[in-house]
Amino acid sequence: MPQLGPLEILVILVVALVVFGPQRLPEIGRQVGKAVREFRRFQESMRREIDDVLTEDRSDEAEPAPTLGPKRLVDGVQAEGEDFPDAPSYEVEETPDTAPPVPPAGTV
């Protein structure tokens, strides 16, 4: 954001004095000051709200999972599978042949 030096502020005040006149200038200054205060309050409340949300999110984070080697990971998954007695079994059953055997070619 560009900074306003004393010369720029003086030019703005002279232009405002010429445009609005000496009678309305104090009233306009109060309105501008009030608008700036309201904007700063809004900005501060939004900053606090965002900080609260970010702080809340950090506290909800779970602990990172321990790093396991491939063998330990597979052993752990297999051990967890034994804890489920109602789990379906995946045994393969023999299927009966439904079609008759095909005779060798040329014997028809």
User: Does residue 31 lie in a domain region?
Assistant: yes
Tens of pLDDT, residues 71-88: 777 777 776 656 556 666
User: Does residue 89 lie in a domain region?
Assistant: no
Domain count, the chain: 1
User: Does residue 90 lie in a domain region?
Assistant: no
- The structure's pTM equals 0.43
Q: How far is CA 44 from CA 25, 40, 53, in A?
A: 29, 6, 14
Q: Which residue has the higher pLDDT, 11 or 96?
A: 11
- pLDDT reported for residue 64: 62
User: Does residue 64 lie in a domain region?
Assistant: no
Please give the structure tokens belonging to residue 31: 């309105």
User: Does residue 53 lie in a domain region?
Assistant: yes
Question: Domain containing 47: what range?
Answer: 23-59
> Does pLDDT of 49 surpass 60?
yes
**80 near 68, Cβ under 8 Å?**
no
User: Does residue 50 lie in a domain region?
Assistant: yes
Residue with tokens 């006149």: 21
Tens of pLDDT, residues 20-44: 888 998 898 899 999 999 999 999 9
The H or E element spanning position 92 is: none
